[in-house]
Amino acid sequence: MSVDLAIVGLGYVGLPLAQQAARSGLSVLGFDVNQNVVDGLNSGASHIDDLSGADIAEMLASGFRATTAEADLATASTVVICVPTPLSADGGPDLGPVRSATATIARNLQPGMLVVLESTTYPGTTDEIVRPMLEAGGLEVGKDIHLAFSPERVDPGNPVYGIKNTPKVVGGSTPDCTERAAAFYGRFVDTVVTAVGTREAETAKLLENTYRHINIALVNEMARFCHELGIDLWDVIKLAKTKPFGFQAFYPGPGVGGHCIPIDPNYLSHNVRARLGYPFRFVELAQEINATMPAYVAHRAQNILNADGLATKGASVLLLGVTYKPDIADQRESPAVDLAKSLLELGAEVSFHDPHVARWHAEGQTMDRVESLDDAVANADLVMLVQHHKAYDVDALATSAKRFFDTRGVTTAPQAHRL
């Protein structure tokens, strides 16, 4: 039986895509090499924050199924690659998963099929790596099959923007490929924006996240000197954002996390160095600033303890919130890990609380999770708000703590220290 869409990679990108396509009436097949993921989905269990068991049940009722059988891909009109692209040792993207997914598709490629890469990568990947692998079997892109790149824009935990109402950028290897891909996404996405080609679509995703990376670095650096100068940066940002044009608010924090901001700009920087032989200085400076924030925050914590005559060595430090963004369980690239590492190196006794995380590992060890939040806050030498989950009454926690360090600028309690 043929299907409208097969998705290779059923994680934070692929599964929401499958959900929206299925909701819009498309027949959807999910492919993943992880048998546990496939078995879980087919039994109605979700493994990502954005989709619940009820969401998976709805998808199954609409005909969705997951498989590890690659031959099933041959039944699809469109195949979308949604596999991860982690950083490699040299700072560029590890394209191993993309190559593996493409090879799997190539073995099952059929005339007329549309293949779309959604995995974030450096400019040129679609046409220089994916295309030759697909054409090796004799089918020509733009004539026998179609190929395009469409950057994923999933924002885990966002209650307003999802697959359907976030504009979809599409760039094909040929104009016909672009047209075919745009028509496909137009079946379940409200707005489709076409690019000149695959490289422009690939670079657009990198520009989006590089823009955020650089502006976060700007306010992180300002946080350092504003603290030294006795300036309330949070008030500065509040004032600046009253301007209705020409300014967008970004906020400092203990570092950057997630699957995009700490990683994607490096793809572009690595590509510029490798191809052109010179640095992308904005990105490299931003990376330097953002990467050192956890150590800076740990140093600030040390100063707070020292001001009250307490050594960091042996001090009990409680971290509140260890995920990379609020109100989700996703811990990918969370700065809390590096923060804990810096505190442990200073000799602190670190524990954590997070309503979304039952077990947390940092510096090669399982960290102690406190069960009673109120008792732990009252007893800790220093409480640090690392992630602002809605479940936390921050002002109440700051009032009951011996010392409270707010790295997110949300407290109004006068005794709290803020980044």
Residues taking part in catalysis: 260
Phi-psi region of 133 (alpha: psi -120 to 50; beta: other; left: phi over 0): alpha
CA distance 2 to 63: 12
CA distance 79 to 272: 30
Contact 321, 354 (CB under 8 A): yes
CA distance 285 to 289: 6
b/e sequence 56-72, b meaning 16+ C-beta within 10 Å = bebbbebebebbeebeb
Cβ count near 82 (within 10 Å): 27
Cβ neighbourhood burial of 309 (10 Å; 0-12, 13-18, 19+): exposed
3-state helix, strand, coil in the chain (%, to 5): 40, 15, 45
Cα-based distances in Å from 186 to 86, 167, 178: 29, 10, 12
Three-point CA angle 221, 399, 413, nearest 5° = 45
| Contacting residues for 244 by C-beta, under 8 A, at least 6 apart | none
Long-range contacts of 323-327 (CB under 8 A, 24+ apart): 323/257, 323/354, 323/356, 323/357, 323/387, 323/389, 324/257, 324/258, 324/387, 325/156, 325/157, 325/257, 325/258, 325/387, 326/157, 326/387, 326/388, 326/389, 326/390, 327/157, 327/356, 327/389, 327/390, 327/391
Three-point CA angle 300, 306, 307, nearest 5° = 90
DSSP single-letter state for residue 418: E
| Secondary structure (3-state) at 385 | strand
CA distance 417 to 419: 7
